[in-house]
Structure 1
């Protein structure tokens, strides 16, 4: 079983969590000013790369709080978890997207 470390509750089984997609995506300053193409890109286009990615996670069956995690999408290994609003850490000295 995969253990995910909630920054608020500590290590818990993966079945308690729900992935909320890519982290650190800024909402457009003036969404009403976007055309359909730009709006659809904001809503649906994500990096979805193989390797380390920052993601949002919900501890759905625990504290019910959102947090961010750095996860290697190739190995499904969690490298770090951190509270929402905290700066994104780097992995191995490399700043991540």
Structure 2
């Protein structure tokens, strides 16, 4: 289990949270993007190795949305991409 650091409630068990998914880059303009790039944006799910920025909702707590960095290799929460090296 992860201990997710809530800024209001302190470290809490991940069972109190709902996973909101990875933070995604902004949506490209479909009229200014090639067909191949647009299809890739719509259909390809990134699965990076290392730190990933994720959104979590403290649904069984204070209701805050959090953004954390989690290292996919170790499942540990880290401060940012440089800390996971």
TM-score (norm 2): 0.70
After superposition, the Cα gap between the structure-2 partners of 1:7 and 1:44, relative to the gap in structure 1 and judged at 3 Å, is farther
Deviation track 1:49-93 (CA, whole Å, cap 9, x = no partner) reads 12211111111111212111110112211113xxxxxxxx44239
What is residue 65 of structure 1 aligned with on the other side? 64
Structure 2, unmatched stretches of 5+, are: none
Work out the CA distance in 2 between the residues paired with 1:55 and 1:38: 23
Which residue in 2 is equivalent to 1:22?
Answer: 22
Structure 1: which 5+ residue stretches go unaligned?
A: 81-88
Provide the alpha-carbon RMSD of the alignment. Answer: 2.7
Q: Measured at CA, do residues 45 and 93 of structure 1 come closer, stay the same or move farther in structure 2, by a change above 3 Å? A: same
| Cα 1:39/1:14, change in 2 over 3 Å | same
| Contact kept? 1:22, 1:46, Cα under 8 Å | no
Instruction: Give the match for residue 42 of structure 1.
Output: 41
SS in 2 for 1:92: helix
Q: If the length of structure 1 is used for normalisation, what is the TM-score? A: 0.63
Which consecutive segments of 4 or more residues in structure 1 shift more than 3 A? 33-44
Q: Is 1:52 equivalent to 2:43 in the alignment?
A: no
SS in 2 for 1:42: helix
